[in-house]
Structures are given as structure tokens and as C-alpha cells.
Amino acid sequence: MTTLDFTTILLADQTPKQAFDAINNVRGWWSEEIEGSTNELNAVFKYHFEDVHRCQMKIVEFIPDKKVVWLVMDNYFKFTSDKSEWIGTRIIFEIAQNGKQTEIRFTHQGLVPQYECYEICRDAWTGYIQNSLRGLITTGIGKPNATGKPQTENEKNLSLTK
């Protein structure tokens, strides 16, 4: 069965533990303004980027060095007419040894091409996973966003739209 959920994969020379630790340091690769704990089962945390995007996540699966799953409990996009997009979707990080490298498979289960936000969200996740998270895993330095500090072209454009 073919799935249309957004998925991207990265390979790194670091260990599964290093990848797992970086994934759970959400402030280090997605947003400096994360509120709440991001490294334990059943923790709830909030993300926001200016007035463009807000969401609340719950960590529903947490298997050290192997898997992390976030459930999107609430979400708001300034730029979509359907304000419920993402609610009930899952963000999944699966970690596995692949030869001498560690493979991180990122899937946003429920983020599908029919969503109004799909292209913007696909591009943002690709940037955050392939650039920022990769950097945090491989060098210890990610590129998270913050108010006044957009990291993707879409964030730059959307933050200018008032």
C-alpha cells in the first residue's frame, strides 16, 4: 500500500543515541521558543513561530535510541482557511542502524498533498530535518527559528504578511 504521508530520510555517521538525543532537543533544531518538556513520554509541549503557526504536541511514544512519536493535539496556521489541519496527525522519528550509519526516517503521518498547507509544510519539514536537525546531529549546531529569526523562505515571506 502506497502512503502519501510526508516522509524524508537522513543518514548520519553518528550513533542512534546521538540522533535520538538531538531529535529530543527540539529547541536546538526546530524552535528556540518551544515551551515544555520534549524528552519524556506523555510530555506536552508548545511550538509557535510569530503569529504564523502555533501547535501543541504530546509525546505518545518514546523508545530510547529507536523511536519518538508526537501527537498533534492542537494547531493553528495563519495562512490556511482550514484551521484544523494537522490536528490528530502524528510526527514520527524512527532511528535505525543502516550499515555504518544511522538512518533517521521522519514521517508526518497525516500530512498529505490534499492539505492546503502541504507544500509549505513539506518544504519547512525538509529544511528542518535535512538541514537543521542534520546539523545538530552531525556538528552539535542546528538552525532553529525564533521570533524575528525565520529559517525558511516561507517563514520569511509569511512573517512579513500582517
In a domain, 39, yes or no: yes
**Hey, what's the cell of 56?**
501543541
Among candidate residues 125, 124, 63, the one with its CA nearest the CA of residue 91: 125
pTM for the structure as a whole: 0.93
CATH of the domain at 96: 3.30.530.20
In a domain, 49, yes or no: yes
- Looking at per-residue confidence, does 74 or 145 come out higher? 74
pLDDT in tens, 7-55: 999 999 999 999 999 999 999 999 999 999 999 999 999 999 888 999 9
The structural domain count of the chain equals 1
pLDDT in tens, 127-142: 999 999 999 999 999 9
pLDDT in tens, 53-66: 999 999 999 999 99
In a domain, 73, yes or no: yes
Kindly list the distances between the CA atom of residue 118 and the CA atoms of 30, 110, 139, in Å, as whole numbers in the listed order. Answer: 18, 10, 30
- pLDDT for position 27: 97
pLDDT at 1 over 70: no
Cα(44)–Cα(65) distance, integer angstroms:
20
In a domain, 120, yes or no: yes
- Parent domain of 147: 6-160
Among candidate residues 66, 23, 15, 61, the one with its CA nearest the CA of residue 40: 61
In a domain, 1, yes or no: no
In a domain, 152, yes or no: yes
Cα(85)–Cα(113) distance, integer angstroms:
12
What's the one-letter identity of residue 30?
W
